Amino acid sequence: MTPKYYIGKTLKIEAKDVVMDFQADNYNLGTALTYIMRAGKKPHNPICDDIRKAIAHLQFELERQNEQRAASEGSQTTTTKYAVLY
């Protein structure tokens, strides 16, 4: 059974179904969406923790996209900075 914090209040749609519809091909964006949709709903898990985790996954994806773009443009130097998951 799916925990209540993963199910929307009005349409009763599960977070994973929204992610599969919009971002099934991108782990980081999909994970960020999931953290945002359930932010503050999981017992004993402050909303700020989920927001930080979503931001970290967005940062991972931004860096990945920048590295891919640099590689396709033939750039030899890429810098990777990793966000910290709290």
- Give the tens place of pLDDT for each residue, 30-69: 999 999 999 999 999 999 999 999 999 999 999 999 999 9
Any domain includes 24: yes
Any domain includes 85: no
16-35 residues labelled b (16+ CB within 10 A) or e (exposed): eebbeeebeebebbbbbbbb
Any domain includes 82: no
Task: Report how many domains make up the chain.
Answer: 1
Any domain includes 43: yes
List the domain range (segments joined by +) for residue 53. Answer: 4-72
CB distance 11 to 3 below 8 Å: no
Going by C-beta distance under 8 Å and a sequence separation of 6 or more, which residues neighbour residue 53? 31, 32, 35, 85, 86
Any domain includes 16: yes
Any domain includes 14: yes
Supply the pTM of this predicted model: 0.75
